[in-house]
């Protein structure tokens, strides 16, 4: 999950007060679940889960551990691939064969590599519990979120054990989200979508932060993503034959010409694109601000000449107004320092706004490179997705659940610049919302995909409670309209 940026992307929200459902008398939520016959707390399970390395493509062992817990605690398992790079399973309150509309909690088993393990204060796969923080790769992205989802599903199932729900609830764990391989959520959707009967999908996304609103820095603002930019990974290849010895600089050589072409591409100022969704971001910010700043943000098109220069000063915010191309790798094979390579390859991580024409984008990129011999090939292209409705009941159920836990919070809909697995469901027309509904300090988000990744223990209980309240809101609505 690429969740570090959401600094200014969060806006104003909606509170729907929900009564307790009459399906069953609510009981005290369980604080433990069974693992190998032993009652285990959420912290213990997360520590164990983190301690099983599951770098993308190596998910089987960690996936089996998670699947075993789900089965032992009474969920119905549907296996959707059980090998490394293709380990996915659904764990549901009722069997998928019940054909009930399904509320799906989506998470991924895989993590990114630990990087330089020597710079970690505690081993990257230790799951160490120190000063009420759990350390290790995946603590936030995505294992910590996954265990809160699992505890929420089991808690909700126990609360309503005496009633019959008119919908199913499913914990869906998948492989290789970090590398976007074809064996993860794409495989699930291609082969099991009809069985899932997904009514709505909740996946990882932005969390709650303070410091968003200038006149009230303590105001918690939570974002719920209804869409994200889609990934387009491009490979650029250039071959220039000629003199190979570094002692004589030829008139033409691949390294120089590739660098010059990339300079033409990357130095050009990105065009700011206003869409309904990203201007909603500004309007909602305006609803939280005061004075002339509020006026300008509420009318982004009228004040465009004033706002665009400010957007360019904030890369996190500019990213949701532009199509981006970022150079992430430049290589020329294994050559000695004094040998001029004849082949050079560059890799671009491009992120496209919703409804951007991919072919037009590539054509424009080629035009800016302005080099006829550079071959452009697509390494990965995420499909176009639909934007989920921020006025749907499910959005409001989640917003209400967040407001129940954080009474002063604002909850808003947004576009995020990073991609995740929710978009695969949106591409199929299924409503999907991305959020980690917890208030968390930025210092924890800054460790995601870096060293010393960790989360505070208090986040686990609060996040689980928010998910449970969301499900109660859903149950209440079904109960009201049955």
- Comparing CA positions, the residue from 415, 421, 420 lying closest to residue 10 is 415
Instruction: Report the number of distinct structural domains present in the chain.
Output: 2
Q: Is residue 281 part of a domain?
A: no
Q: Residue 28 pLDDT > 90, yes or no?
A: no
Q: Does 161 share its domain with 73?
A: yes
Q: Is residue 9 part of a domain?
A: no
Q: How many CB atoms lie within 10 A of CB 218?
A: 8
Q: Is residue 75 part of a domain?
A: yes
Q: Quick one: average pLDDT of 374-379?
A: 98
Residues 401 and 399: their CA atoms lie apart, in Å, by 5
Percent of the chain residues topping a pLDDT of 70: 93
Q: Residue 9 pLDDT > 60, yes or no?
A: no
Q: Is residue 11 part of a domain?
A: no
Q: Quick one: average pLDDT of 208-216?
A: 92
Structure confidence at residue 476 (pLDDT):
87
Q: 478 in helix, strand or coil?
A: helix
Contact at 8 Å (CB) between 109 and 421? no
Q: Residue 24 pLDDT > 50, yes or no?
A: no
Q: Which two tokens stand for residue 359?
A: 């072919």
* Alpha-carbon distances, residue 296 vs 279, 288, 301, 316 (angstroms): 12, 12, 9, 19
Q: 46 in helix, strand or coil?
A: helix
For the segment 279-323, what is each residue's pLDDT rounded down to a tens digit? 999 999 999 999 999 999 999 999 999 999 999 998 888 999 999
Structure confidence at residue 300 (pLDDT):
97
Q: Does 41 share its domain with 151?
A: yes
**Structural Rg of the chain based on CA atoms:** 24
Q: Does 105 share its domain with 221?
A: yes
Local confidence band at 243 (pLDDT 50, 70, 90 cut-offs):
low
Q: Is residue 175 part of a domain?
A: yes
Residue 465: CATH number of its domain: 3.40.630.10
For the segment 340-356, what is each residue's pLDDT rounded down to a tens digit? 999 999 999 999 999 99
**Burial of residue 370 (number of CB atoms within 10 Å: 0-12, 13-18, 19+):** exposed
Structure confidence at residue 480 (pLDDT):
60
Q: Residue 12 pLDDT > 60, yes or no?
A: no
Q: Does 352 share its domain with 428?
A: no
| pTM of the shown model | 0.89
Structure confidence at residue 8 (pLDDT):
32
Q: Residue 19 pLDDT > 70, yes or no?
A: no
Q: Is residue 446 part of a domain?
A: yes
Q: Does 410 share its domain with 312?
A: no
Q: Does 268 share its domain with 405?
A: no
Q: Which has more pLDDT, 32 or 76? A: 76
Q: Residue 20 pLDDT > 60, yes or no?
A: no
Q: 192 in helix, strand or coil?
A: helix
Residues 141 and 130: their CA atoms lie apart, in Å, by 19
Q: Does 319 share its domain with 443?
A: no
Mean pLDDT of the chain: 91
Dihedral sign for Cα 437, 443, 444, 449, please: positive
Q: Is residue 133 part of a domain?
A: yes
For the segment 116-136, what is each residue's pLDDT rounded down to a tens digit? 999 999 999 999 999 999 999
Q: Is residue 282 part of a domain?
A: no
Q: Quick one: average pLDDT of 131-158?
A: 97
Where does a domain end: 347, 381, 415?
381
Structure confidence at residue 43 (pLDDT):
97
Q: Does 211 share its domain with 246?
A: no
Structure confidence at residue 14 (pLDDT):
25
Q: Quick one: average pLDDT of 156-180?
A: 93
**Burial of residue 453 (number of CB atoms within 10 Å: 0-12, 13-18, 19+):** buried
Where does a domain end: 350, 366, 381?
381
Q: Does 358 share its domain with 333?
A: yes
Q: Residue 16 pLDDT > 80, yes or no?
A: no
Percent of the chain residues topping a pLDDT of 90: 84
Domain extent for 373: 229-274+308-381
Q: Which residue has the tokens 């917890």?
A: 438
- Comparing CA positions, the residue from 114, 207, 144 lying closest to residue 452 is 114
For the segment 70-83, what is each residue's pLDDT rounded down to a tens digit? 999 999 999 999 99
Q: Does 42 share its domain with 180?
A: yes
For the segment 405-451, what is each residue's pLDDT rounded down to a tens digit? 999 999 999 999 998 999 999 999 999 999 999 999 999 999 999 99
Range in 171-180, 243-252, 330-339, 447-456 with the lowest mean pLDDT:
243-252
Q: Does 330 share its domain with 429?
A: no
Tell how many helices (H) and how many strands (E) occur in the chain: 14, 18
Q: Does 376 share its domain with 388?
A: no
Where does a domain end: 381, 415, 436?
381
Residue 238: CATH number of its domain: 3.30.70.360
Q: Residue 13 pLDDT > 80, yes or no?
A: no
């Amino acid at each position: 999950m690429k969740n570090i940026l959401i600094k200014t992307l969060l806006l104003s929200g909606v509170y729907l007060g929900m009564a307790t459902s009459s399906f069953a008398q609510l009981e005290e939520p369980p604080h433990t679940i069974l693992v190998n016959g032993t009652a285990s707390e959420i912290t213990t399970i997360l520590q164990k889960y983190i301690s099983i390395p599951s770098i993308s493509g190596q998910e089987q062992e960690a996936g089996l551990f998670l699947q075993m817990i789900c089965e032992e605690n009474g969920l119905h398992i549907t296996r959707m691939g059980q090998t490394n790079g293709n380990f996915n399973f659904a764990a549901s309150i009722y069997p998928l064969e019940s054909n009930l509309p399904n509320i799906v909690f989506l998470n991924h088993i895989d993590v990114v590599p630990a990087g330089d393990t020597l710079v970690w204060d505690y081993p990257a796969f230790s799951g160490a519990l120190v000063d009420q923080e759990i350390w290790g790769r995946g603590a936030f992205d995505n294992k910590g979120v996954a265990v809160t989802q699992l505890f929420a599903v089991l808690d909700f199932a126990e609360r309503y054990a005496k009633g019959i729900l008119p919908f199913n609830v499913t914990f869906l764990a998948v492989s290789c989200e970090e590398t976007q391989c074809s064996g993860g959520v794409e495989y699930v959707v291609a082969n099991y979508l009809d069985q899932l009967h997904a009514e709505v999908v909740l996946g990882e996304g932005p969390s709650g932060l303070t410091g968003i609103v200038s006149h009230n820095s303590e105001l918690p603002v939570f974002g719920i993503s209804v869409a994200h930019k889609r990934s387009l990974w491009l490979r650029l290849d250039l071959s220039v034959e000629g003199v190979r010895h570094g002692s004589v600089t030829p008139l033409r050589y691949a390294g120089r010409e590739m660098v010059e072409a990339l300079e033409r591409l990357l130095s050009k100022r990105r065009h700011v694109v206003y869409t309904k969704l990203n201007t909603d971001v500004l309007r909602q910010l305006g609803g939280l601000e005061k004075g002339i700043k509020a006026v300008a943000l509420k009318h982004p098109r009228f004040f465009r000449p004033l706002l665009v220069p400010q957007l360019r000063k904030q890369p996190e915010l500019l990213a949701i107004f532009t199509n981006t191309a970022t150079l992430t790798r430049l290589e020329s094979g294994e050559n000695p320092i004094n040998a001029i390579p004849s082949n050079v390859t560059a890799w671009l991580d491009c992120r496209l706004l919703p409804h951007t024409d991919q072919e037009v984008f590539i054509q424009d990129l080629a035009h800016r490179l302005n080099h006829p011999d550079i071959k452009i090939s697509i390494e990965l292209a995420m499909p176009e997705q639909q934007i989920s409705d921020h006025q749907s009941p499910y959005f409001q159920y989640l917003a209400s659940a967040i407001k129940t836990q954080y009474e002063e919070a604002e909850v808003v809909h947004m576009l995020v610049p990073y991609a995740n697995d929710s978009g695969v469901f949106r591409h199929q027309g299924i409503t999907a919302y991305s959020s980690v509904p917890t208030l968390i300090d930025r210092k924890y988000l800054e460790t995601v995909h870096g060293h010393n990744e960790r989360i505070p223990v208090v986040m686990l209980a609060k996040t689980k409670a928010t998910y449970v309240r969301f499900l109660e809101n859903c149950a209440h609505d079904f109960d009201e309209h049955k």
